[in-house]
Structure 1
Amino acid sequence: MVRVRLFAGAAQAAGRRELSGDWAGLTAGEVVQELARQFPSLGPLAPTLALAVNREYVEPDHRLQDGDELALIPPVSGGEEALFEVVTHPLSADAVARKVVAPEIGAVVTFVGTVREWTHGRRTVHLEYEAYPEMAVREMERIAREIGERWPGARVAISHRVGRLEIGEASVVIAVGTPHRAGAFDACRYAIDRLKQIVPIWKKEVWENGEAWVGAQSGPPWQHPEKR
């Protein structure tokens, strides 16, 4: 038996969030095709879906085993103007900053996190980022709500890139706009600290002589109450 989980637009198209079936031995792509036949509204979305088996991204030709969990993950960016997004393309700090500009905003502070070459004396060749996209976006929205409570009138945009990143490339861009400059600086610092605490994004550091996954979070979120 294989369990299938559907998210966001995929769940809406199929009219359900979970399915199960005797699909062991089929590929992930074949299961998607079967579901598209069962639920015609899912068909147009099928080519855009990312696939994950047991919380690991896979290609459509990945063969399923009994007990596997297959997740159908729609695109999460919502277009160029999405305030909170997980993307695979290079990031533009100017583009993210423009999202928080408004007549009532008097200051915009932008944070850009980049891939550095040396960490604790060890040379990094490149990084690989992975995320749980839907939950990551939801937690980014949560951070924005927290900022709005502490700094009334603030506007927030967060973009995080996943996949392989080379030295010097931007992995995350955060822009915060507030009526006054002090709030913008403080809220932007708050945003990156909270992102590292609660947003499910991980990175693999690839060195000249090895590699290791490093969680972006600094522990389970319940160990890090909101900063008040």
Structure 2
Amino acid sequence: MHITIRLFAGLAEIIGSSSLTFHATENPLTAGKLKELLSTSYPDAASLIGTSLVAIDREYAPDEALITESAEVALIPPVSGGENGSLYESTPDGLYSITDLPLNAEKLLDAVLDANHGASLLFVGTTREMTGEQRTTALDYEAYIPMALNKLKEIGDEVQNRLNARCAISHRIGLVGLKEASVIIAVSTPHRDTCYEASRLAIELLKQTVPIWKKDINESGQHWVGSEQKAADSLYN
């Protein structure tokens, strides 16, 4: 069976391509077995493959999930990385978007305002200069855009179902300089306590589930952020 696998961030750099066609003799082929085969075929990337997740048809797949030849398969590495151009993609309702343009906080907040909601919040994540003793000059973001949009909408649905909150999220990709926004989350609720809770829930779910990566560009070079910790504790930063 021949399958095409999409690669991102550090995996794409190590293997030298953003996609590869892989021939597997196993039938049926599971997600877990695919990772084993890839680790054997690409030993330089084996450590990162081992801590990556398999996505099948834009959904995270457990190790026992079956892969068909027609499936859209992606290997999701444990990092948060760059695309350039003029890009804006969103869900049909416009509440969740990914773009390489500067983010618009006022527009996003307006999307969640409700006449019956007395509280609203904006969370703005920006590029900071210092992490410990390391000085960052910029961050470079990359996303698996179709799946990332699906996951952002799932977060909004979860926030709505749990806390009766309206939610909108916009994430930037490409080069993001110091003090510039990489992500904005807008929420509104009837009362302030749940508004704070909704904002925190949204950003924590985003860090855990959305396939967006970042590369730290600093004085000594550049590296994908998060892979070392993920390998150690299986959690996204």
Give TM-score, length-normalised by structure 2.
0.60
Seq. identity, %: 40
Q: Which has the larger radius of gyration?
A: 1
2:21 to 67, 71, 77: 67
Q: What pairs up with 1:1-16 in 2 under 5 angstroms?
A: none
Q: What pairs up with 1:68-217 in 2 under 5 angstroms?
A: 76-77=89-90, 82-152=94-164, 154-215=165-226
The alignment partner of 1:145 has SS state of helix
Gaps of 5+ in 2: 23-71, 75-86
2:7 to 52, 55, 60: 55
Distance 1:64 1:117 in 2: 29
**Cα distance change on mapping 1:112 and 1:102 into 2, 3 Å:** same
Give TM-score, length-normalised by structure 1.
0.63
Number of residue-to-residue matches in the alignment = 165
**Cα distance change on mapping 1:78 and 1:144 into 2, 3 Å:** closer
Q: Could you tell me which residue of structure 2 aligns to residue 28 of structure 1? A: none
Give 1:205 shift: 0.1
The alignment partner of 2:223 has SS state of strand
**Cα distance change on mapping 1:128 and 1:56 into 2, 3 Å:** same
Gaps of 5+ in 1: 5-52
RMSD, matched Cα = 3.3
Distance 1:146 1:65 in 2: 32
**Cα distance change on mapping 1:124 and 1:102 into 2, 3 Å:** same
Distance 2:173 2:132 in 1: 23
